[in-house]
Amino acid sequence: MADKTRVLILFGGVSSEHEISLRSARSVLDAIDRERYEPLLCGIHRDGSWRTGPLDRPLADIVAAGEPVPDARALRPDVVFPVLHGPHGEDGTMQGLLEILGLAYVGSGVLASALCMDKIAQKHLVASAAPSLPLVPWRAVDGRRLHEERYATRTCDEIIAALDVPCFVKPANLGSSVGVERVDHEAGLLPAMQRAARFDHAIVVERGVDAREIEVAVLGDGGPSTIASAPGEIVLPEGVWYDYDTKYVNDVASLAIPAALPPALARTISAHAIEAFRATGCHGLARVDFLLDRGSGTAYLNELNTMPGFTSISMYPKLMAHAGVGYAELIHRLCQLGLQRHAARRQLSVERA
């Protein structure tokens, strides 16, 4: 049998989503096909140091006290699976490092990763490149200026006039609903934005929509063979919205796969997911999230996640399983897509002639 492909699973990271990354990496390690692949582990501490350890060691222990890794190339991976969520992992920075190191990796490249992490840049790009995709009305805020009374007052007045309440305040460059708040009263808007500014200087405020949380999994290179799952739905108790605790702590959300939608609407949402995937230049995988307005029936594009959760309760692998791509096969396809993209990029000329 040919040598197994060596897959370096990167996890942890300098991010508020550090713990979620460990859960995702554990699931990937448990599911990867050991007949095809030889997994390697590398945990990134919150201080930025990289450490490795044996496969049977708890991932948190590797992060805390594993053997130092001065250069990922020393582990001799064929492909890197950066199971990293949030800044310094999903935002293009890790992808740029892997490009410089000359390593193949799973997922989108530098630009698409950065674009999809930044909710403001993503909205601007989609509005320009795919104007047929509806977006919830929104405003961008400079969190660095919220201490300026004139700026803060003017910004709050403009947001209330344009969006009203309820509205949602979000750090522009985080995931897993970290730092996201629902604002139900005008007086709560400025404090919510100030709290969001602790996580990111760029803040996005969106109109509150009475909506169903609809998600689609996309797999491929953006070409004709790219597939989108049927839409799934995050089903929540009445009056509950999809914040961090709902996702990872309280376990009150359930997944409906497929979502109960008219067939034509389901097909439209899946097609819009692929359109958004292509417009933003994604590669490999993305979970594309929509807000389905209960009143108007409009499916608003909410955001794209280029490295969605891979935990045992995560929507992306569950949607792909419903589409006929099981967990081990999903990891295999993602690794192959990463290797193929790397090989294609190596064919590009770096000479003038």
Tens of pLDDT, residues 185-228? 999 999 999 999 998 999 999 999 999 999 999 999 999 999 99
Cα separation of the two ends of the chain: 41
Count of other CB atoms within 10 angstroms of residue 222: 18
pLDDT digits (tens, 9 = 90+) for 266-280: 999 999 999 999 999
Torsion of CA 118, 207, 301, 181, to 10 degrees: 50
Are 143 and 179 in contact, with CB atoms under 8 Å apart? no
Tokens 């001065």 map to which residue? Answer: 70
Domain 138-207 part of CATH 3.40.50.970? no
Phi-psi region at 102: left, alpha or beta (left = phi > 0; alpha = psi -120 to 50)? left
76 is an active site residue: no
Homologous superfamily of domain range 116-134+210-341:
ATP-grasp fold, B domain (3.30.470.20)
CA proximity to 244, closest of 6, 18, 11: 18
Is the model's pTM score more than 0.85?
yes
> In the prediction, which pLDDT does 299 show?
98
Gyration radius of the chain's alpha carbons = 20
Active-site hit among 309, 327, 333, 341: 309
Active-site hit among 303, 314, 333, 338: 303
138-207 shares the fold of 5-105: no
Which of 2.30.40.10, 1.20.870.10, 3.40.50.20, 3.40.190.10 is the CATH number of 5-105? Answer: 3.40.50.20
303 is an active site residue: yes
pLDDT at 1 over 50: no
The lowest-confidence range among 24-28, 171-175, 318-322 is 171-175
Active-site hit among 16, 176, 229, 314: 176
As a whole number of angstroms, the distance between CA 42 and CA 111 comes to: 24
Active-site hit among 13, 15, 16, 17: 17
Question: For the chain, which residues make up each domain, given as ranges?
Answer: 5-105, 116-134+210-341, 138-207
176 is an active site residue: yes
284 is an active site residue: no
- How would residue 114 be classed by pLDDT, with cut points 50, 70 and 90? very high
How is the beta sheet containing 167-171 ordered, strand by strand? 138-142, 202-207, 167-171, 181-183
289 is an active site residue: yes
> In the prediction, which pLDDT does 8 show?
98
